[in-house]
Amino acid sequence: MSKFKFKGLNHITLRVNNIEKAEQFYSDILGFEIEKKMGRSMTVYRIGKDSLVLVEAETEYEKTSKDYRVDHFGFFVDTPERVDELAGFFREQEVTILSGPSNRKNGRFVFISDPDGNMIEIFNEA
């Protein structure tokens, strides 16, 4: 049994070649409403309680490659202290910590990597 419980999947972040074209697709074709823009290269859509985040990649990728461009997915936890507890647990389990634990404007986070290199964010939001 897991030593901790997540409250749910919060968001998925996709890397895109062209943020404007991606916004047209997700807004005009799929009908998602932009919740916020973060600079020129990040757009957030709210879908129910979850979010889809688009981030413009620094370099384009070949569409026929196996690079599907999912950047990371994130899980909520109950408290900022829980982020730190989990970071300690991940270290004990020799899980790769990519960034954090650190504070951000509205919470605390840690980024880890699964065995295949998929990036996962664990965070608490104030």
Domain ranges of the chain: 11-60, 77-126
pLDDT digits (tens, 9 = 90+) for 93-122: 889 999 999 998 889 999 988 876 778 898
Task: Domain 77-126: give its CATH code.
Answer: 3.10.180.10
Q: What is the pTM of this model?
A: 0.63
pLDDT digits (tens, 9 = 90+) for 43-86: 999 877 888 898 887 766 665 665 556 778 888 888 999 999 99
List CB contacts of 89: < 8 A, sequence separation 6 or more.
3, 4
* Fold classified for 11-60: 2,3-Dihydroxybiphenyl 1,2-Dioxygenase; domain 1 (3.10.180)
Do domains 11-60 and 77-126 share one topology? The answer is: yes
